[in-house]
């Protein structure tokens, strides 16, 4: 799977440039946060790494090869939960792995315990709170024991307490040896969680640096403005 290499990635749906020549190497350890304003191309980049979106130009290589058959999991900003129990939803990602029923049940229950949802196993997944839903989505991905976990703004709609719970789980998943890439535009989270930051703006990687250095000494004017909360990306409204 590793290293993963994105080379000269362009993505231009309908002629609009979303990614404009992204080059990125991803090794097998740590947590990387892809930081940037809305519309910077963060989600598209994650979708390409998950094999859900092909670039219009350039290539994505996983250890020099095409998309691996397994080992990648993704958690979306608004995870889809089926009309069934928490337990069923947590084990959903194991279906293609061909595990026995006992193995599936044991792995699912173990993961639910680790995200603090074991006591809700029999409840309906769709009646969970926002934070619980996101923890369930993380459990579903974690149960698959992925080598690479992609998180697309997993805490975007959560309160601070639910955000803290998700961040704790993300760190635990990392300590299990899973490589994590996550997108966020939450600066506090970008300071707390990652080993390194990839700062994306205007469809390009403007800066990549260890998290502590990125926030202490940003190397580019765009990163500096973003950290200071300036809004050069202010949305223009028609008069």
Partner 1 sequence: MFDTLLDALALLGHLDSQVIAIVWLSFKVGLSTVTLATLIGLPLGALVAVASFPGRAATTVFLNGMMGLPSVVVGVIVYLFLSRSGPFGSLGLLYSPPAMIMAQTVLVVPLMAALTRQIIEDAWREYGTEFRSMRFSLRHSVAALLYDCRYSLVVTVLAGMGRSLSEVGAVMIVGGNIEGFTRVMTTAIALETAKGDLALSLALGLVLLTVVLLLNTGAYHLRQWAMRKYG
Bridge partners, 198 (sequence order): 34, 208
Q: Tell me which residue of 193, 191, 145, 201 sits closest to 166, measured CA to CA.
A: 193
Helix residue ranges, H only, the chain: 42-49, 86-90, 101-114, 130-143, 160-175, 187-192, 211-216, 221-227
139 binds partner 1 (CB under 8 A): no
Q: Which is nearer to partner 1, 47 or 185 (CB)?
A: 47
235 binds partner 1 (CB under 8 A): no
80 binds partner 1 (CB under 8 A): yes
Exposure string for 90-107, b = 16+ CB within 10 A, e = fewer? bbbbbeeeebeeeebeeb
Per the listing, tokens 């990163």 go with 223
144 binds partner 1 (CB under 8 A): yes
112 binds partner 1 (CB under 8 A): no
Report how far residue 98's alpha carbon sits from residue 95's, in angstroms, rounded to the nearest whole number. 6
**Contact residue for partner 1 among 15, 64, 69, 237 (CB under 8 A):** 69
70 binds partner 1 (CB under 8 A): yes
**Contact residue for partner 1 among 38, 63, 84, 228 (CB under 8 A):** 84
Q: How many residues bind partner 1 (CB under 8 A)?
A: 21
Stretch that binds partner 1, among 79-87, 166-174, 215-223, 225-233 (CB under 8 A): 79-87
Q: List the structure tokens of 20.
A: 């404009």
**Contact residue for partner 1 among 45, 50, 117, 206 (CB under 8 A):** 50
Least CB distance to partner 1 at residue 42 (A): 16
């Amino acid at each position: 799977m590793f290293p993963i290499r994105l080379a000269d990635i362009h993505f231009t749906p309908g002629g609009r440039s979303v990614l404009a020549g992204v080059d990125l190497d991803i090794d097998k350890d740590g947590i990387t946060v892809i930081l940037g304003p809305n519309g910077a191309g963060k989600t598209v980049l994650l979708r390409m790494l998950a094999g859900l979106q092909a670039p219009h130009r350039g290539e994505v290589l996983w250890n020099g090869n095409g998309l691996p058959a397994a080992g990648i999991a993704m958690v979306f900003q608004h995870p889809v939960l089926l009309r069934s129990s928490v337990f069923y939803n947590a084990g959903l990602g194991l279906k293609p792995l061909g595990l026995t029923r006992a193995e599936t049940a044991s792995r699912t229950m173990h993961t639910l315990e680790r995200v603090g949802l074991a006591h809700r196993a029999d409840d309906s997944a769709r009646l969970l709170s926002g934070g619980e839903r996101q923890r369930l989505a993380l459990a579903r991905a974690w149960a698959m024991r992925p080598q690479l976990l992609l998180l697309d703004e997993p805490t975007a709609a959560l309160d601070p307490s639910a955000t803290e719970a998700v961040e704790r789980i993300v760190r635990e998943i990392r300590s299990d040896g899973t490589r994590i890439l996550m997108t966020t535009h939450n600066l506090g989270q970008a300071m707390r969680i990652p080993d390194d930051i990839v700062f994306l703006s205007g469809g390009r990687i403007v800066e990549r640096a260890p998290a502590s250095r990125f926030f202490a000494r940003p190397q580019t004017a765009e990163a500096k403005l973003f950290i200071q909360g300036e809004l050069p990306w202010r949305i223009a409204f028609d008069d």
